[in-house]
Chain A
Amino acid sequence: DAGITQSPRHKVTETGTPVTLRCHQTENHRYMYWYRQDPGHGLRLIHYSYGVKDTDKGEVSDGYSVSRSKTEDFLLTLESATSSQTSVYFCAIRPTSGGAYNEQFFGPGTRLTVL
């Protein structure tokens, strides 16, 4: 257990409504990531953060925004949800030590359905 929680775990919403997913970590790691998982595509990076207020886009960032006002929380917002954003969303953290690369640890996921 890497101390990562995601909320909510399941959500059903309607097209056009805003949705915010939360990722919370307990270990103050600098790097945090949001991925979406879709059949046939594996996981694809949406946005990532390398510190408080420091974020950057991933490969599928259109329609998503993120915020990180505290080290422990990384929020993913769908400003106006569409059916194409129905997916399972995973948050991940990456410990760093001495500049060495380390693997990412994943949260339990949020299953989002947009009707």
Chain B
Amino acid sequence: AQSVSQHNHHVILSEAASLELGCNYSYGGTVNLFWYVQYPGQHLQLLLKYFSGDPLVKGIKGFEAEFIKSKFSFNLRKPSVQWSDTAEYFCAAALGGSSNTGKLIFGQGTTLQVKP
């Protein structure tokens, strides 16, 4: 069965530190990948997405992610975090192709705490 794994469950960083959150998926075919963020008390918002093309994708708020097909990975990065980045981050995957139903498989989530 397809699955998504996030390696870091709870990350604590100081402001201006660099961030990298790991995400691996298990599926051998075409896959669409996403990172969502959930700020405290709010709903999920899309940070960035990968469908095809350039494996380095840029999202909102200075986040980027790199799709490495050979490693089945889609890690999220930010060079310098801010206190306002404190949130929970979810990696998600959907099977690609025109017949897809759009069902998302989520990772367990990573809680990021940024200390001022």
* Residue among B9, B46, B51, B101 with the highest chain A CB neighbour number at 10 A: B101
Q: Which of B14-22, B66-74, B78-86, B106-114 contacts its partner?
A: B106-114
CB-based contact B96/A101 at 8 Å: yes
Measured between alpha carbons, how far is A58 from B92 in the docked complex, in Å?
A: 15
| List of A residues within 8 angstroms of B100 by Cβ | 101
A62 to chain B, nearest CB (A): 16
Residue of chain A at shortest CB distance from B36: A106
CB-based contact B43/A101 at 8 Å: no
Measured between alpha carbons, how far is A53 from B23 in the docked complex, in Å?
A: 35
Decide yes or no: A43 and B49 within 8 Å by CB, A48-B103, A56-B101, A104-B102 being known contacts: no
CB-based contact B44/A90 at 8 Å: yes
Interface string of A24-44 (1 = CB under 8 A from B): 000000010101000011111
Interface size in chain A (residues, C-beta < 8 A):
26
Measured between alpha carbons, how far is A102 from B103 in the docked complex, in Å?
A: 11
A108 interface neighbour in B34, B43, B49, B51, Cβ under 8 Å: B43
- Asked if B94 is an interface residue, CB under 8 A from chain A, the answer is yes
Measured between alpha carbons, how far is A40 from B101 in the docked complex, in Å?
A: 25
Decide yes or no: A99 and B98 within 8 Å by CB, A43-B90, A106-B44, A108-B43 being known contacts: yes
Decide yes or no: A33 and B90 within 8 Å by CB, A90-B43, A107-B43, A109-B43 being known contacts: no
CB-based contact B44/A42 at 8 Å: no
Measured between alpha carbons, how far is A106 from B108 in the docked complex, in Å?
A: 17
B104 interface neighbour in A100, A104, A107, A109, Cβ under 8 Å: A104
- Asked if B32 is an interface residue, CB under 8 A from chain A, the answer is yes
Residues in chain A within 8 A of chain B (CB atoms): 31, 33, 35, 40-45, 48, 50, 56, 58, 90, 92, 94, 99-101, 103-109
Residues in chain B within 8 A of chain A (CB atoms): 4, 6, 9, 32, 34, 36, 42-46, 49, 51, 90, 92, 94, 96, 98, 100-109
